[in-house]
Each structure stands twice: as structure tokens, then as C-alpha cells.
Structure 1
Amino acid sequence: MKKNIESRSDTDGAADGAHDGQAERQIALRKIHRLMAFWRIEPHELRGPIPRAAPAAPAEVRYRHPVSGATWDGQGAQPAWLREALIREGYTVDELRRAVGEG
């Protein structure tokens, strides 16, 4: 008899879990409906592939080595050629920046 009670409580727990899932689902659906109304999204717009954003244009070159022609857009880590030009070759940042306008 004790075994029946334990199995019944396990079943009740599963039913409660399913009920909680349904409640969460209903809450999610209400949120979706509100968002669709706010943004004026029609159901047919949700079908098919999600449009991808256009790729960003490459950043404009800001630094160019006057001899080697190596370039850097100023984004990300400073490249080795720029460090070499500043430290070992004796260029200044302004000289490398000015080289951009020269072509």
C-alpha cells in the first residue's frame, strides 16, 4: 500500500510540472502577442528565414607604412609592423598617419 502512495505522489509531481510549463507557455504567448502588436508584426512575417543584417563596410585605413605599404585601420590590437616602425625605424605616429593622405 505504501508503494502505491509513493508512486501516486510522483505522478502528481509530474502533472504539476506539466501544469507549470503550460502556465509559463501562456505567459510567453501573451508577451509575444504584446510585442507583435507593439511592433506591428504580422504572423506571416514570422515564416521563412530570418533576414541577415548587411555586412559592415570595412573601416577606413588610418595608418600606412610609407615604405612597405602595410596598413592598419586603428581598430583592434596594434600590429607588429606599426610597433616596429615606431620603435626600431624611428617613425612618429603623425608620419604614419600623414602617409594615409598621400595614397
Structure 2
Amino acid sequence: MRTAEQEAVLRSVRKLVAFWQITADELAGIPEPVRVQEPVRVPVLKYRHPRTGETWDGEGAQPTWLREALTRQGYTVEELRLPQSESASEA
């Protein structure tokens, strides 16, 4: 069973086909649209632990290693932040 929205779309398509006098053969020759793959987003690293090497891109929840480095190990955000040039070159 079709929804009301689907019925409305079909009515519109039928009207356009009739107006432009499009034949079924013409419709059959239309190729399927090509699906374009989304490019894979490579995260740009923004933070690195100086001793363990663990990294974080700044997206999502703050990782445990970063929280512990800031609260228990005495690091500052600036000490863990990667310079722009270094973080961009690793991505």
C-alpha cells in the first residue's frame, strides 16, 4: 500500500510525463544514477601525550588518557596540544 505522499508524487510524475510526452521506451533508457562514495575523513590530530604517544583529534568525548594527564599527571592543555604544522602533516 502506498502512502499519501507516494500517491502525490506519482500524480505529479504522471502529469509531467503526459505534459512532456515522454514514452516508456525513453524512460527505460535512463541509466541508474552513479553513487559517489563520500571521501574518508582523516582526523587531524590535535593532542598527544608526550610520554605514551596517545593521541586525540578533539572530536567526541575526551579520552581517559587526556583527562588523567590533565588532572592526575599535572600536564596543561598547551603541553599536550600539537603544533598546527605537526598535526596537519600526520593526517
- Say yes or no: TM over 0.5: yes
When the two chains are superposed, the root-mean-square deviation of aligned CA atoms in Å is: 3.7
Q: Which runs of 5+ in 2 are unaligned?
A: 18-28
Moved over 3 A (4+): 20-23, 30-33, 98-103
TM-score normalised over the length of structure 2: 0.59
TM-score normalised over the length of structure 1: 0.53
Q: Which runs of 5+ in 1 are unaligned?
A: 1-19, 34-42
1:78 aligns with 2:35: no
Aligned length: 73
Distance 2:40 2:64 in 1: 25
Please report how far the alpha carbon of residue 59 of structure 1 lies from its aligned counterpart in structure 2 after TM superposition.
1.4
Please report how far the alpha carbon of residue 56 of structure 1 lies from its aligned counterpart in structure 2 after TM superposition.
2.8
Say which SS state the counterpart of residue 50 (structure 2) adopts.
coil
Task: Work out which of the two has the higher radius of gyration on C-alpha atoms and give 1 or 2.
Answer: 1
Larger RCO (CA within 8 A; separation ≥ 6): 2
Corresponding residue of 2:44: 60
Distance 2:46 2:55 in 1: 8
